[in-house]
Every structure is written in C-alpha cells, then in structure tokens.
C-alpha cells in the first residue's frame, strides 16, 4: 500500500470540512485506498468502486477527491487549501471469499452511515482480509463436486456423464486446493486442470464410456471460467472505462486460452472421439430444481458464503436461471441472456436490505456461472482446434454477443431496481480514460 505524500498546492479549494486534522485526512485517504483495492479484488466494476469511494469522501466532507481505478491499480488524490495527499495502491487482494466480500461491503455501508474514525475502519478492513475460511479443504473439494453436479443436471446428461463429471470434479478440486498453496504455480493450474480433465475424459470415452466430450469437460472446469470477469468487462467498456474494461477482457480471454491449451494437448495425446448420442436423464421438473439446489449448496460451501445467506443465494441463482430459460423460449438465446441478467440484478437488489441477506455483489456473482458466457467460449475455442473450426468461430462470436446481452441486462436491472449501484452520470466521477 502506498504511503501518503503531503504537499501544499498554490491553488486549492477551501470548501472542505475544517474539523479533520491532517493526520485524520491521511488515515481516511489510506482507508479509502485499501477499501478500493479490496473492492477491486472482489471483482467489482471500476465504475462502482469510484462511486463508493466518492460517497465515503463526501460522508466525511471531502469534496475534491480524484480516483483512478484499473483492475490492478488504484490511485487517490485529495487536495485542499492546506495540503495534498496522494495514495497509490497496487497491492490488490485476490481470491476474496463471499463472506469476506459481504463483510467488506457491510463495512463500506457502515462507514458511509456512521463516519467512524478512519483508524477504526482500517482495523476492521484488515481483520476482514485476514479472516480464515469457515470450511476446511475436504469440504471445499466436496462443494466443488456439488457445483459440478448441479451444472450437469441442468444440461440433460446421461447417468454416465453425471458419474464421470463428478469424478473429474474431485480431481479438479484437489488440483485447485493444492495449487492455491503455491502462488507461483497458481497461473498454471487452469492449464493443468484442462490437461488432466481432458486426458481422463477423452480416454474414458475412447475406452467405450457412453459420454459426450463437451458435456463432461465443461462442468468440472466451470470454477475456472471467467464468466463474471468477461461480463463486468463489457459493463466497464460500455460505461467508457476503456483501460479497465480492456484489461479485464484480456484477463478473461487469457484464462479461457489457458484452459483450452490444456484441452488441446490432451486432445493431441488421445484424439477427439466422434460425436455420439446418449440416453439423457428424463428432464422432470424435479431434476433442474435438484441441480439448482446442488449448485447453490456447493457455492455456499466452496466460497464460504456468509452465515444465513444460503436461501437468498438460492433465490437469486434460481431467478437468473429461470429468467434466462423463459427469455430464451420467448425471445431467443441472446435476449434470454439479457432477461437472465436483468432478473438476477432486480431480485438481488430487492433482497439486499432484508435481514440476513447478503450485499448485491455477493448474491449475483455466483449466478454468472449459470448464465454461461464463459462455457460458450470454452466450447467454441475447443472446436476451433478440434474437428469443427467453422462452428468454433461461430461459438466464440456467440460468447461475445451473449456477454453483451448479459451486461445490458445487468445495467437495465440496476436502473429499473433503483439500486444505488445504478449507472448515474450525475455522480461527477473521473474516468480512467
């Protein structure tokens, strides 16, 4: 975290509060910088990070705070007639769990409402970031199997595909938990997971297991798919945050290519089996409900969701999936993504102030996986290097169109829900252009 550098500008406004000492202002700017970095690590859009930081500044009476945010950097500058403070932060926390994200946004709301001493906010924030996970490694691996099982049941699988996907999820869980212990190796984990999952599944199919390759490849790897990052990048680009949106889009694309590189190597070793027809599980109304329940339970356990939030998470996840399905039936697949994104945000906005309900970002983040922009892209990139390059290109185009539809749905949902996070050009924020 960067240190604050006081100076004395010749032409600064004197309209700010005079009851804050220089030391208090210094601590407040430092607190805002660390909060912004944590929100960045939570994957929030830079548009909303700037807005939250400006609201905190106004709560304390600071009117001349400039904020520059990109996914890996945050810069704050404040100046009045006495001094100027600058704080630069490139120490962005990574892999924040849902309970940490919920506590972070509760802290932001408390600070805006009660204006505690900045040092108190710093102590609370650092305690949140040090907070250990509530569930141990075996529970998180089991939870990943539940996430995979839930997604598989929504894709009309055969029983063989269900069994193989759960086995592959166990392998991915071990790789993910093991890789998280060695940060230097973590960037290689998606490629390694793609290689191992691809090799096992393609060899099993080659030996006669009656499964469709992509039906068993995608669900276990969903945990690595950057669907939320890709969609947030579309929101940032649409809002004019070109640097932030472009860098986040590049990050999401790189994650996809890392996964695909492992699958490509696996396909080169084993060959790509021909397409086959399988006997799918009968899709009664109970099967999707079981899938949504398993998926929500897995998310709750794997990401240590806040206590008492399970029912709310299930509600938002189910609303997103139902909205997408109904929109696809009535309007087509791309408008279906728009409807799913809008419904997801509206429901998450309506419940966020209920007792025990998590903040909006916590409740809608898991639902991105069910809207599946990342999965479409993985399938398309796999086909490009496989037997159907023309079809693969079509799928990649479909991924970007779906992302745009979901992003527009999210923005529309924010507007019609009256959320404080809705896009309001009257905020007077600086941009990263």
Least confident among 51-65, 167-181, 259-273: 259-273
User: Pick from 361, 348, 362, 122: which is nearest to 235 by CA?
Assistant: 361
What percent of the chain has a predicted confidence (pLDDT) above 90?
Answer: 19
> Does the pLDDT value for residue 6 go beyond 50?
no
What single DSSP character describes residue 206? H
Mean pLDDT of the chain: 79
Q: Are 137 and 120 in contact (CB under 8 A)?
A: no
Asked if residue 270 lies in contact with residue 206, where contact means CB atoms within 8 angstroms, the answer is yes
User: In terms of pLDDT, which residue wins out, 199 or 273?
Assistant: 199
Beta-ladder partners of 78 = 65, 85
Write out pLDDT tens, residues 116-164: 999 999 999 999 999 888 888 899 999 999 999 888 888 777 788 888 9
Instruction: Encode pLDDT of 166-215 as tens digits.
Output: 999 999 999 888 887 887 778 888 889 888 988 888 888 888 777 777 77
pTM of the predicted protein model: 0.81
Give the pLDDT score at 425.
37
As given in the structure block, the two tokens for residue 96 are 């924040």
- Which of 63-72, 102-111, 297-306 shows the lowest per-residue confidence on average (mean pLDDT)? 63-72
Label residues 126-162 b or e (16+ Cβ within 10 Å = b): eebeeeeeebeeeebbbbbbbbbbbbbbbbebbebbb
pLDDT of residue 273: 61
pLDDT category at 10 given cuts 50, 70, 90 is very low
Strand, coil or helix: 171: helix
pLDDT, one tens digit per residue, over 27-44 is 898 899 999 999 988 888
What's the mean pLDDT in 342-347? 90
Closest CA to 316 of 350, 286, 355: 350
Residue 50 and residue 430 in contact, taking contact as beta carbons nearer than 8 Å? yes
The Cβ-side half-sphere exposure at 107, using a 13 Å CA radius, reads 26
Q: Which two tokens stand for residue 88?
A: 């630069």
* Alpha-carbon gap, residue 353 to 363, rounded angstroms: 12
Please give the residue that has the higher pLDDT: either 39 or 72: 39
For residue 306, the 8-state DSSP code is: P
Token pair 């806040």 is found at: 306
Q: Say if residue 322's pLDDT is above 50.
A: yes
- Please write the tens of the pLDDT for every residue from 384-404: 545 555 555 566 666 667 777
Furthest-apart CA pair in the chain: how many Å? 78
pLDDT for position 318: 92
Look at the alpha carbons of 410, 415, 416, 419 in this order and tell me if their dihedral is positive or negative. positive
Residues 6+ apart with CB under 8 A from 146: 294, 295, 297, 298, 301
Contact of 63 with 425, CB cutoff 8 Å: no
Percent of the chain with pLDDT over 70: 81
């990139």: which residue's tokens?
381
Q: Decide if 28 contacts 391 (C-beta within 8 A).
A: no
- Over the Cα atoms of the chain, what is R_g? 23
pLDDT at 75: 87
Tokens of 237: 């680009």
Instruction: Give me the helix-helix angle, 22-41 and 118-130, nearest 10°.
Output: 30
């Amino acid at each position: 975290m960067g240190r604050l550098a006081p100076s004395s500008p010749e032409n600064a406004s004197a309209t700010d509060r005079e009851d804050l000492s220089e030391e208090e202002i210094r601590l407040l700017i430092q607190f805002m910088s660390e909060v912004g970095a944590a929100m960045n690590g939570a994957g929030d859009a830079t548009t909303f990070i700037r807005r939250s930081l400006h609201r905190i500044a106004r709560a304390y009476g600071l009117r001349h705070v400039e904020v520059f945010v990109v996914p890996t950097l945050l810069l704050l500058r404040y100046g009045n007639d006495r001094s100027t403070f600058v704080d630069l932060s490139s120490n962005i926390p990574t892999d924040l769990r849902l309970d940490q994200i919920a506590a972070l946004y509760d802290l932001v709301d408390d600070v805006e409402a009660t204006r505690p001493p900045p040092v108190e906010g710093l102590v609370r924030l650092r305690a949140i970031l040090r907070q250990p996970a509530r569930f141990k490694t075996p529970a998180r691996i089991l939870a990943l199997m539940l996430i995979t099982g839930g997604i598989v049941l929504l894709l009309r699988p055969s029983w063989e595909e269900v069994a193989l996907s759960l086995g592959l999820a166990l392998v991915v869980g071990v790789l993910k938990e093991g890789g998280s212990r060695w940060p230097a190796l973590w960037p290689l984990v998606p490629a390694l997971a793609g290689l191992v999952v691809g090799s096992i599944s393609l060899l099993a199919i080659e030996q006669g297991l009656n499964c469709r390759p992509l039906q068993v490849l995608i669900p276990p790897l969903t945990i690595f798919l950057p669907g939320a990052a890709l969609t947030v990048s579309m929101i940032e680009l649409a809002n004019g945050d070109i640097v932030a949106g472009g860098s986040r889009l590049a990050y999401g694309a790189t994650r996809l290519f890392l996964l695909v590189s492992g699958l490509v190597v696996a396909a080169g070793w084993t060959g790509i089996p021909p397409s086959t027809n399988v006997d799918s599980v009968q899709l009664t109304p109970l099967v999707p409900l079981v899938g949504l329940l398993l998926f929500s339970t897995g998310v709750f356990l794997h990401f240590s969701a806040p206590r008492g939030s399970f029912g709310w998470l299930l509600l938002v996840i189910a609303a997103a999936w139902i909205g997408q399905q109904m929109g696809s039936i009535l309007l087509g697949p791309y408008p279906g993504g728009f409807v799913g994104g809008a419904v997801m945000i509206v429901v998450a906005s309506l419940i966020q102030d209920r007792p025990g309900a998590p903040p909006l970002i916590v409740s809608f983040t898991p639902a991105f996986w069910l809207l599946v922009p990342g999965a479409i892209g993985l399938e398309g990139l796999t086909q490009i290097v496989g037997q159907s390059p023309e079809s693969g290109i079509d799928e990649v185009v479909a991924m970007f169109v779906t992302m745009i539809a979901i992003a527009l749905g999210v923005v529309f949902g924010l507007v019609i829900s009256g959320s404080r996070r809705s896009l309001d050009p009257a905020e007077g924020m600086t941009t990263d252009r």
